[in-house]
Amino acid sequence: MLKITKVKPNSIGAELGLEVGDCITAFDGYPCEDELDYLYYSSKEEFTLTVKDQKTGAEVEIEIEKDEDEELGLEFEKDARIRTCQNRCVFCFVDQMPKGMRESLYVKDDDYGMSFTCGNFVTLTNLSDEGLERIIRLHLSPLYISVHTMNETLRCELLRNRFAGKITRQIAALAAAGIEMHCQAVIVPNKNDGEEFVETARKLFAYYPFVRDLACVPTGITKYREGLCYIPDVDGEYSEKFLDLADKLNEEFGVNFLLPADEYFVKAGRAFKNAAFYGDFQQIENGIGMTALFLSQVNAALKHIRENGEGRYALKTKKRALIVCGVSAEKINRDVAKSAEEAIGNLQVSVLAVKNNFFGETVTCTGLLTGKDMLAAIEKYLQTNACDEVILAGNTMREFEEVFLCGTTLQELETALEKYGVAVKINRDGGEGLVEILAKDKE
Protein backbone atom coordinates (compact mmCIF):
# COMPACT_ATOMS: atom_id res chain seq x y z
CA MET A 1 0.00 0.00 0.00
CA LEU A 2 1.25 3.47 -0.92
CA LYS A 3 0.16 6.52 1.07
CA ILE A 4 0.06 9.69 -1.04
CA THR A 5 2.02 12.65 0.38
CA LYS A 6 1.85 14.97 -2.65
CA VAL A 7 -0.34 15.41 -5.72
CA LYS A 8 1.24 17.63 -8.38
CA PRO A 9 -1.05 20.38 -9.72
CA ASN A 10 -2.56 19.76 -13.16
CA SER A 11 -1.42 16.12 -13.09
CA ILE A 12 -3.54 13.07 -13.87
CA GLY A 13 -3.70 12.38 -10.14
CA ALA A 14 -5.10 15.85 -9.52
CA GLU A 15 -7.68 15.42 -12.31
CA LEU A 16 -8.80 12.17 -10.69
CA GLY A 17 -9.38 13.99 -7.42
CA LEU A 18 -6.71 12.08 -5.50
CA GLU A 19 -5.67 13.78 -2.27
CA VAL A 20 -2.85 13.66 0.25
CA GLY A 21 -3.59 10.84 2.69
CA ASP A 22 -5.34 8.62 0.13
CA CYS A 23 -3.74 5.18 -0.29
CA ILE A 24 -3.17 3.15 -3.45
CA THR A 25 -3.94 -0.45 -2.55
CA ALA A 26 -3.80 -2.22 -5.92
CA PHE A 27 -2.90 -2.00 -9.61
CA ASP A 28 -4.87 -4.16 -12.05
CA GLY A 29 -6.17 -6.08 -9.06
CA TYR A 30 -2.68 -6.97 -7.78
CA PRO A 31 -1.90 -5.78 -4.23
CA CYS A 32 0.38 -2.72 -4.21
CA GLU A 33 3.52 -3.50 -2.20
CA ASP A 34 5.83 -0.56 -2.86
CA GLU A 35 6.87 2.08 -5.39
CA LEU A 36 8.06 -0.58 -7.84
CA ASP A 37 4.38 -1.21 -8.62
CA TYR A 38 3.81 2.49 -9.19
CA LEU A 39 6.87 2.85 -11.44
CA TYR A 40 5.80 -0.09 -13.57
CA TYR A 41 2.12 0.73 -13.97
CA SER A 42 2.59 4.48 -14.39
CA SER A 43 4.58 3.68 -17.55
CA LYS A 44 1.60 1.79 -19.04
CA GLU A 45 -1.13 3.36 -21.14
CA GLU A 46 -4.05 1.47 -19.59
CA PHE A 47 -4.53 -0.04 -16.12
CA THR A 48 -6.86 0.02 -13.13
CA LEU A 49 -6.02 1.84 -9.92
CA THR A 50 -7.59 0.92 -6.58
CA VAL A 51 -7.58 3.80 -4.09
CA LYS A 52 -8.64 3.87 -0.44
CA ASP A 53 -10.22 7.22 0.44
CA GLN A 54 -8.61 8.71 3.56
CA LYS A 55 -11.90 10.27 4.73
CA THR A 56 -14.39 7.44 4.23
CA GLY A 57 -12.12 4.41 4.16
CA ALA A 58 -13.94 3.20 1.03
CA GLU A 59 -12.00 1.66 -1.84
CA VAL A 60 -12.64 2.90 -5.37
CA GLU A 61 -11.41 1.29 -8.60
CA ILE A 62 -10.43 3.78 -11.30
CA GLU A 63 -9.81 3.04 -14.98
CA ILE A 64 -6.71 4.87 -16.22
CA GLU A 65 -6.05 5.73 -19.88
CA LYS A 66 -3.08 7.95 -20.69
CA ASP A 67 -0.09 8.42 -22.96
CA GLU A 68 2.85 6.17 -22.13
CA ASP A 69 5.09 9.09 -21.11
CA GLU A 70 2.45 10.82 -18.96
CA GLU A 71 3.01 10.64 -15.20
CA LEU A 72 0.32 10.35 -12.55
CA GLY A 73 2.08 13.09 -10.56
CA LEU A 74 2.04 11.38 -7.18
CA GLU A 75 4.57 11.17 -4.37
CA PHE A 76 4.38 8.74 -1.47
CA GLU A 77 5.36 8.19 2.13
CA LYS A 78 8.76 6.56 2.19
CA ASP A 79 8.92 2.97 3.38
CA ALA A 80 12.19 2.24 5.21
CA ARG A 81 11.56 -1.50 5.29
CA ILE A 82 13.90 -3.70 3.27
CA ARG A 83 14.04 -7.43 2.69
CA THR A 84 16.94 -8.65 4.80
CA CYS A 85 19.37 -11.50 4.35
CA GLN A 86 18.46 -14.85 5.88
CA ASN A 87 21.80 -16.49 5.03
CA ARG A 88 24.85 -17.12 7.18
CA CYS A 89 27.40 -17.20 4.36
CA VAL A 90 30.79 -18.61 5.29
CA PHE A 91 32.43 -15.66 3.50
CA CYS A 92 30.12 -12.86 4.76
CA PHE A 93 32.08 -9.60 5.05
CA VAL A 94 29.65 -8.09 7.57
CA ASP A 95 30.42 -10.93 9.99
CA GLN A 96 34.09 -9.91 9.77
CA MET A 97 33.63 -6.31 10.85
CA PRO A 98 34.65 -5.02 14.28
CA LYS A 99 32.04 -4.17 16.87
CA GLY A 100 31.06 -0.64 17.76
CA MET A 101 30.59 0.76 14.25
CA ARG A 102 27.40 2.42 12.94
CA GLU A 103 24.37 0.11 13.10
CA SER A 104 23.64 0.64 9.41
CA LEU A 105 26.92 -1.09 8.50
CA TYR A 106 25.68 -4.35 10.01
CA VAL A 107 22.42 -4.44 8.04
CA LYS A 108 22.45 -7.27 5.53
CA ASP A 109 20.02 -6.40 2.75
CA ASP A 110 18.82 -9.05 0.33
CA ASP A 111 16.11 -7.04 -1.39
CA TYR A 112 15.29 -7.64 -5.05
CA GLY A 113 13.81 -4.14 -5.24
CA MET A 114 17.18 -2.65 -4.31
CA SER A 115 18.84 -4.97 -6.80
CA PHE A 116 16.69 -3.50 -9.57
CA THR A 117 16.89 0.14 -8.46
CA CYS A 118 20.41 0.34 -6.97
CA GLY A 119 22.35 -2.61 -8.40
CA ASN A 120 22.68 -4.37 -5.03
CA PHE A 121 23.44 -8.09 -5.20
CA VAL A 122 20.81 -10.49 -3.89
CA THR A 123 20.88 -14.24 -3.30
CA LEU A 124 17.12 -14.79 -3.84
CA THR A 125 17.04 -17.29 -0.94
CA ASN A 126 14.29 -15.22 0.73
CA LEU A 127 12.27 -15.01 -2.48
CA SER A 128 8.85 -16.67 -2.39
CA ASP A 129 7.08 -18.02 -5.47
CA GLU A 130 4.83 -14.96 -5.29
CA GLY A 131 7.90 -12.72 -5.20
CA LEU A 132 9.34 -14.44 -8.26
CA GLU A 133 6.03 -14.00 -10.08
CA ARG A 134 6.03 -10.30 -9.16
CA ILE A 135 9.56 -9.76 -10.51
CA ILE A 136 8.47 -11.34 -13.79
CA ARG A 137 5.13 -9.47 -13.95
CA LEU A 138 6.78 -6.08 -13.30
CA HIS A 139 9.72 -7.06 -15.51
CA LEU A 140 12.32 -5.90 -12.99
CA SER A 141 15.34 -6.00 -15.26
CA PRO A 142 18.28 -6.03 -14.86
CA LEU A 143 18.86 -7.85 -11.57
CA TYR A 144 22.18 -8.45 -9.82
CA ILE A 145 22.37 -11.95 -8.36
CA SER A 146 24.90 -13.55 -6.01
CA VAL A 147 24.99 -17.07 -7.41
CA HIS A 148 28.38 -18.29 -6.09
CA THR A 149 27.76 -21.81 -7.42
CA MET A 150 25.15 -23.67 -9.44
CA ASN A 151 25.81 -26.82 -7.42
CA GLU A 152 22.66 -26.69 -5.30
CA THR A 153 24.04 -28.78 -2.44
CA LEU A 154 27.24 -26.77 -2.29
CA ARG A 155 25.29 -23.49 -2.44
CA CYS A 156 23.25 -24.52 0.60
CA GLU A 157 26.54 -25.27 2.36
CA LEU A 158 28.26 -21.99 1.44
CA LEU A 159 25.22 -19.83 2.23
CA ARG A 160 24.21 -22.04 5.15
CA ASN A 161 20.59 -21.82 4.06
CA ARG A 162 18.49 -24.84 3.08
CA PHE A 163 16.56 -22.71 0.57
CA ALA A 164 19.69 -21.77 -1.40
CA GLY A 165 19.23 -24.72 -3.77
CA LYS A 166 16.33 -22.98 -5.53
CA ILE A 167 18.78 -20.97 -7.63
CA THR A 168 18.64 -23.19 -10.74
CA ARG A 169 14.85 -22.93 -10.99
CA GLN A 170 14.93 -19.20 -10.26
CA ILE A 171 17.57 -18.42 -12.91
CA ALA A 172 15.68 -20.52 -15.47
CA ALA A 173 12.36 -18.76 -14.73
CA LEU A 174 13.90 -15.28 -14.91
CA ALA A 175 15.70 -16.05 -18.17
CA ALA A 176 12.52 -17.48 -19.70
CA ALA A 177 10.77 -14.20 -18.84
CA GLY A 178 13.50 -12.14 -20.52
CA ILE A 179 14.94 -10.72 -17.29
CA GLU A 180 18.56 -9.65 -17.71
CA MET A 181 20.88 -10.82 -14.94
CA HIS A 182 24.37 -9.85 -13.86
CA CYS A 183 25.75 -12.56 -11.59
CA GLN A 184 28.64 -12.88 -9.18
CA ALA A 185 30.54 -15.69 -7.51
CA VAL A 186 32.60 -15.07 -4.39
CA ILE A 187 35.32 -17.65 -4.84
CA VAL A 188 36.24 -19.73 -1.79
CA PRO A 189 39.45 -21.74 -2.42
CA ASN A 190 38.88 -25.51 -2.47
CA LYS A 191 35.10 -25.03 -2.42
CA ASN A 192 33.56 -23.40 -5.48
CA ASP A 193 36.72 -22.98 -7.57
CA GLY A 194 38.35 -25.42 -10.00
CA GLU A 195 35.94 -27.86 -11.66
CA GLU A 196 33.05 -26.57 -9.55
CA PHE A 197 33.63 -23.11 -11.01
CA VAL A 198 33.83 -24.53 -14.54
CA GLU A 199 30.43 -26.21 -14.09
CA THR A 200 28.90 -23.03 -12.63
CA ALA A 201 30.22 -20.95 -15.52
CA ARG A 202 28.90 -23.35 -18.15
CA LYS A 203 25.48 -23.72 -16.53
CA LEU A 204 25.05 -19.96 -16.28
CA PHE A 205 26.32 -19.34 -19.80
CA ALA A 206 23.58 -21.67 -21.04
CA TYR A 207 21.20 -18.77 -20.23
CA TYR A 208 23.24 -16.17 -22.14
CA PRO A 209 22.39 -13.45 -23.17
CA PHE A 210 19.83 -13.16 -20.34
CA VAL A 211 22.62 -13.99 -17.90
CA ARG A 212 24.95 -11.31 -19.23
CA ASP A 213 28.06 -12.00 -17.20
CA LEU A 214 29.56 -13.61 -14.11
CA ALA A 215 31.85 -11.57 -11.88
CA CYS A 216 34.51 -13.64 -10.10
CA VAL A 217 35.45 -12.10 -6.76
CA PRO A 218 37.98 -13.40 -4.19
CA THR A 219 36.78 -13.77 -0.61
CA GLY A 220 37.37 -10.60 1.41
CA ILE A 221 39.19 -11.59 4.58
CA THR A 222 39.62 -9.23 7.53
CA LYS A 223 41.44 -9.78 10.83
CA TYR A 224 38.10 -10.19 12.62
CA ARG A 225 37.44 -13.86 11.77
CA GLU A 226 37.64 -15.27 15.28
CA GLY A 227 35.05 -18.03 15.64
CA LEU A 228 34.48 -18.21 11.87
CA CYS A 229 35.56 -21.03 9.55
CA TYR A 230 39.02 -20.87 8.02
CA ILE A 231 39.25 -19.49 4.49
CA PRO A 232 42.72 -19.22 2.95
CA ASP A 233 43.74 -15.98 1.25
CA VAL A 234 44.81 -16.25 -2.38
CA ASP A 235 48.34 -15.61 -3.56
CA GLY A 236 49.95 -14.80 -6.89
CA GLU A 237 50.18 -18.39 -8.08
CA TYR A 238 46.52 -19.09 -7.31
CA SER A 239 45.49 -15.85 -9.04
CA GLU A 240 47.48 -16.71 -12.17
CA LYS A 241 45.82 -20.11 -12.46
CA PHE A 242 42.38 -18.62 -11.90
CA LEU A 243 42.92 -15.96 -14.57
CA ASP A 244 44.15 -18.62 -17.01
CA LEU A 245 41.00 -20.66 -16.36
CA ALA A 246 38.76 -17.64 -16.89
CA ASP A 247 40.51 -16.82 -20.18
CA LYS A 248 40.13 -20.42 -21.34
CA LEU A 249 36.40 -20.43 -20.58
CA ASN A 250 35.81 -17.06 -22.23
CA GLU A 251 37.54 -18.40 -25.34
CA GLU A 252 35.22 -21.41 -25.20
CA PHE A 253 32.15 -19.17 -24.86
CA GLY A 254 33.27 -16.74 -27.55
CA VAL A 255 32.40 -13.69 -25.39
CA ASN A 256 33.83 -12.02 -22.31
CA PHE A 257 31.33 -13.69 -20.00
CA LEU A 258 33.62 -14.22 -16.99
CA LEU A 259 34.85 -11.00 -15.39
CA PRO A 260 37.62 -11.57 -12.81
CA ALA A 261 38.01 -8.94 -10.09
CA ASP A 262 40.91 -6.51 -10.37
CA GLU A 263 42.48 -8.04 -7.28
CA TYR A 264 43.37 -11.22 -9.17
CA PHE A 265 45.38 -9.19 -11.69
CA VAL A 266 47.17 -7.31 -8.91
CA LYS A 267 48.16 -10.47 -7.05
CA ALA A 268 49.20 -12.25 -10.24
CA GLY A 269 51.29 -9.26 -11.32
CA ARG A 270 49.49 -9.46 -14.65
CA ALA A 271 48.50 -6.61 -16.96
CA PHE A 272 44.89 -5.51 -16.65
CA LYS A 273 42.41 -6.09 -19.43
CA ASN A 274 41.65 -3.06 -21.56
CA ALA A 275 38.44 -1.11 -21.07
CA ALA A 276 36.73 -2.74 -24.07
CA PHE A 277 36.87 -6.12 -22.29
CA TYR A 278 34.30 -4.92 -19.75
CA GLY A 279 31.73 -3.62 -22.24
CA ASP A 280 29.48 -1.06 -20.56
CA PHE A 281 30.96 -1.72 -17.07
CA GLN A 282 27.76 -3.12 -15.57
CA GLN A 283 29.77 -4.65 -12.71
CA ILE A 284 31.94 -1.62 -11.92
CA GLU A 285 30.48 -1.28 -8.39
CA ASN A 286 31.67 -4.83 -7.76
CA GLY A 287 35.29 -3.83 -8.36
CA ILE A 288 35.19 -5.34 -11.84
CA GLY A 289 37.04 -3.28 -14.43
CA MET A 290 37.50 -0.34 -12.08
CA THR A 291 41.23 -0.11 -12.83
CA ALA A 292 40.74 -0.44 -16.60
CA LEU A 293 38.18 2.37 -16.59
CA PHE A 294 40.38 4.53 -14.35
CA LEU A 295 43.40 4.09 -16.64
CA SER A 296 41.39 4.77 -19.79
CA GLN A 297 40.11 8.00 -18.25
CA VAL A 298 43.60 9.06 -17.15
CA ASN A 299 45.08 8.31 -20.57
CA ALA A 300 42.32 10.20 -22.38
CA ALA A 301 42.74 13.25 -20.13
CA LEU A 302 46.53 13.29 -20.45
CA LYS A 303 46.28 12.80 -24.22
CA HIS A 304 44.05 15.87 -24.39
CA ILE A 305 46.68 17.85 -22.49
CA ARG A 306 49.50 16.71 -24.77
CA GLU A 307 47.57 17.42 -27.95
CA ASN A 308 46.71 20.94 -26.84
CA GLY A 309 50.28 22.13 -26.97
CA GLU A 310 53.36 21.51 -24.85
CA GLY A 311 53.52 23.79 -21.85
CA ARG A 312 49.96 25.04 -22.17
CA TYR A 313 48.95 23.15 -19.06
CA ALA A 314 52.14 23.85 -17.12
CA LEU A 315 51.41 25.00 -13.58
CA LYS A 316 52.32 28.59 -12.68
CA THR A 317 54.34 27.47 -9.69
CA LYS A 318 55.68 24.05 -8.75
CA LYS A 319 53.12 21.86 -7.03
CA ARG A 320 53.84 18.76 -4.93
CA ALA A 321 50.86 16.40 -4.84
CA LEU A 322 50.38 13.21 -2.84
CA ILE A 323 47.98 10.50 -4.05
CA VAL A 324 46.71 8.33 -1.17
CA CYS A 325 45.55 4.81 -2.06
CA GLY A 326 45.32 1.21 -0.88
CA VAL A 327 48.25 -1.17 -1.21
CA SER A 328 46.79 -2.94 -4.26
CA ALA A 329 46.55 0.33 -6.21
CA GLU A 330 50.11 1.52 -5.49
CA LYS A 331 51.77 0.42 -8.75
CA ILE A 332 48.96 1.76 -10.93
CA ASN A 333 49.05 5.13 -9.20
CA ARG A 334 52.82 5.34 -9.47
CA ASP A 335 52.57 4.78 -13.23
CA VAL A 336 49.85 7.44 -13.41
CA ALA A 337 51.97 9.84 -11.35
CA LYS A 338 54.90 9.46 -13.73
CA SER A 339 52.72 10.03 -16.80
CA ALA A 340 51.10 13.08 -15.21
CA GLU A 341 54.48 14.63 -14.37
CA GLU A 342 55.57 14.19 -17.98
CA ALA A 343 52.41 15.76 -19.40
CA ILE A 344 51.96 18.58 -16.87
CA GLY A 345 54.81 20.97 -16.24
CA ASN A 346 55.92 22.07 -12.75
CA LEU A 347 54.32 19.04 -11.12
CA GLN A 348 55.74 16.49 -8.68
CA VAL A 349 53.48 13.58 -7.75
CA SER A 350 54.14 11.07 -4.97
CA VAL A 351 52.06 8.04 -3.99
CA LEU A 352 51.33 6.89 -0.45
CA ALA A 353 50.06 3.31 -0.18
CA VAL A 354 48.29 2.95 3.17
CA LYS A 355 48.16 -0.37 5.01
CA ASN A 356 44.73 -1.19 6.37
CA ASN A 357 45.24 -1.54 10.12
CA PHE A 358 41.52 -1.17 10.77
CA PHE A 359 40.35 -4.27 8.87
CA GLY A 360 43.75 -5.98 8.63
CA GLU A 361 46.51 -5.97 6.03
CA THR A 362 44.75 -8.65 3.94
CA VAL A 363 42.29 -5.89 2.92
CA THR A 364 44.21 -3.90 0.31
CA CYS A 365 41.65 -1.99 -1.77
CA THR A 366 41.42 1.81 -1.57
CA GLY A 367 37.66 1.89 -0.99
CA LEU A 368 37.95 0.18 2.41
CA LEU A 369 40.58 2.53 3.84
CA THR A 370 39.47 4.40 6.94
CA GLY A 371 40.02 8.00 7.89
CA LYS A 372 42.09 7.01 10.93
CA ASP A 373 44.50 4.86 8.94
CA MET A 374 44.89 7.45 6.19
CA LEU A 375 45.42 10.31 8.65
CA ALA A 376 48.09 8.39 10.58
CA ALA A 377 49.94 7.48 7.37
CA ILE A 378 49.71 11.01 5.94
CA GLU A 379 51.00 12.62 9.14
CA LYS A 380 53.93 10.21 9.24
CA TYR A 381 54.72 11.02 5.60
CA LEU A 382 54.54 14.79 6.17
CA GLN A 383 57.01 14.64 9.03
CA THR A 384 59.80 14.00 6.52
CA ASN A 385 58.32 15.10 3.18
CA ALA A 386 57.00 18.38 1.80
CA CYS A 387 53.59 18.45 0.13
CA ASP A 388 51.07 21.01 -1.15
CA GLU A 389 48.04 18.81 -1.83
CA VAL A 390 46.82 15.47 -0.52
CA ILE A 391 44.41 13.68 -2.87
CA LEU A 392 41.95 11.17 -1.40
CA ALA A 393 39.59 8.87 -3.31
CA GLY A 394 35.93 9.77 -2.92
CA ASN A 395 34.91 6.12 -2.52
CA THR A 396 36.58 6.02 0.90
CA MET A 397 33.62 7.99 2.22
CA ARG A 398 29.93 7.20 2.54
CA GLU A 399 27.86 8.13 -0.49
CA PHE A 400 26.62 11.73 -0.31
CA GLU A 401 28.40 12.22 3.04
CA GLU A 402 31.85 13.40 4.10
CA VAL A 403 32.35 10.64 6.66
CA PHE A 404 34.82 7.75 6.46
CA LEU A 405 34.00 4.15 7.36
CA CYS A 406 35.49 4.48 10.84
CA GLY A 407 33.31 7.49 11.64
CA THR A 408 36.07 10.08 11.19
CA THR A 409 34.77 13.08 9.25
CA LEU A 410 36.53 14.81 6.38
CA GLN A 411 36.53 18.02 8.41
CA GLU A 412 38.32 16.27 11.28
CA LEU A 413 40.99 15.00 8.89
CA GLU A 414 41.41 18.43 7.29
CA THR A 415 41.69 20.10 10.70
CA ALA A 416 44.38 17.64 11.78
CA LEU A 417 46.41 18.41 8.65
CA GLU A 418 46.11 22.21 8.87
CA LYS A 419 49.38 22.48 10.82
CA TYR A 420 51.24 21.02 7.82
CA GLY A 421 49.83 23.65 5.44
CA VAL A 422 48.47 21.13 2.95
CA ALA A 423 45.18 21.23 1.07
CA VAL A 424 42.99 18.12 0.99
CA LYS A 425 41.38 17.32 -2.36
CA ILE A 426 38.68 14.68 -2.82
CA ASN A 427 38.54 12.93 -6.18
CA ARG A 428 35.04 11.63 -6.93
CA ASP A 429 35.44 11.54 -10.72
CA GLY A 430 37.83 8.69 -11.45
CA GLY A 431 40.83 9.12 -13.73
CA GLU A 432 39.52 12.27 -15.35
CA GLY A 433 38.96 13.85 -11.94
CA LEU A 434 42.46 12.96 -10.78
CA VAL A 435 44.10 14.58 -13.80
CA GLU A 436 41.92 17.66 -13.38
CA ILE A 437 43.09 18.04 -9.77
CA LEU A 438 46.73 17.48 -10.71
CA ALA A 439 46.60 19.99 -13.58
CA LYS A 440 45.10 22.78 -11.47
CA ASP A 441 47.34 25.38 -9.79
CA LYS A 442 47.57 25.10 -6.04
CA GLU A 443 45.42 27.48 -4.06
Q: Are 425 and 396 in contact (CB under 8 A)?
A: no
- pLDDT at position 3 is 93
C-beta separation of 82 from 114 below 8 A:
yes
pLDDT of residue 84: 87
Q: Evaluate if residue 102 carries a pLDDT over 70.
A: no
Nearest to 396 by CA among 373, 418, 412: 373
Whether the per-residue pLDDT at 86 is higher than 80: the answer is: yes
The confidence score (pLDDT) of residue 313 equals: 61
Q: How far is CA 430 from the centre of its chain?
A: 14
Question: What's the confidence (pLDDT) of residue 9?
Answer: 93
pLDDT tens digit string along 218-258? 999 999 988 888 999 999 999 999 999 999 999 999 999 99
The yes-or-no verdict on residue 154 having pLDDT over 80 is yes
Q: Is the pLDDT of residue 346 over 80?
A: yes
Q: What's the average model confidence in pLDDT over 349-353?
A: 98
What residues have CB less than 8 Å from 251, skipping those under 6 apart? Answer: none
Contacts of 238 by beta carbon, 8 Å cutoff, 6+ apart: 189, 267
The pLDDT assigned to 62 comes to 93
Highest mean pLDDT among 61-75, 106-120, 180-194 belongs to 180-194
Instruction: Identify the band that residue 163 occupies on the pLDDT scale cut at 50, 70 and 90.
Output: very high
Closest CA to 24 of 57, 49, 55: 49
Q: What gap in Å lies between CA 117 and CA 126, rounded to an integer?
A: 18
Average pLDDT over residues 324-350: 95
Predicted confidence (pLDDT) per residue in 230-239, tens digit: 999 999 999 9
Q: Is the peptide bond before 232 cis (omega within 30 degrees of 0)?
A: no
- Going by pLDDT thresholds of 50, 70 and 90, the confidence category of residue 443 is confident
pLDDT in tens, 166-216: 999 999 999 999 999 999 999 999 999 999 999 999 999 999 999 999 999
Q: Which residue has the higher pLDDT, 69 or 175?
A: 175
- As a whole number, mean pLDDT of residues 387-410 equals 91
Mean pLDDT of 92-116: 81
pLDDT cut 90: percent of the chain above it: 81
Average pLDDT estimate for 9-15: 91
What is the arithmetic mean of pLDDT over 41-47? 91
Judged against a pLDDT cut of 60, whether residue 402 lies above it is answered with yes
Band of pLDDT at residue 360, cut at 50, 70 and 90: very high
Alpha-carbon distance of 149 to 165, in angstroms, equals 10
What's the pLDDT band for 279 if we cut at 50, 70, 90? very high
Q: What is the CA radius of gyration of the chain?
A: 25
pLDDT at 98: 82
Mean pLDDT, the chain, rounded, equals: 93
Q: Is the pLDDT of residue 358 over 70?
A: yes
Q: Report how far residue 111's alpha carbon sits from residue 82's, in angstroms, rounded to the nearest whole number.
A: 6
- Say whether 62 sits in a helix, a strand or coil: strand
Domains assigned to the chain: 2-76 (2.30.42.10), 94-288 (3.80.30.10), 294-438 (3.40.50.2300)
Which is nearest to 117 in space by CA: 25, 1, 34? 34
Percentage of residues in the chain with pLDDT exceeding 70? 97
Bridge partner list, 403: 409
**Cβ contacts of 127 within 8 Å, gap of 6 or more:** 112, 135, 166, 170
Is 104's pLDDT higher than 80?
no
Q: Are 343 and 305 in contact (CB under 8 A)?
A: yes
Query: Per-residue pLDDT tens for 367-384?
Result: 999 999 999 999 999 999
Q: What is the pLDDT of residues 306-326, one digit of tens each?
A: 887 655 567 889 999 999 999
pLDDT tier, 103 (very low <50, low <70, confident <90, very high otherwise): low
Output DSSP code: residue 348: E
Contact 311, 286 (CB under 8 A): no
Return the amino acid letter for 63.
Answer: E
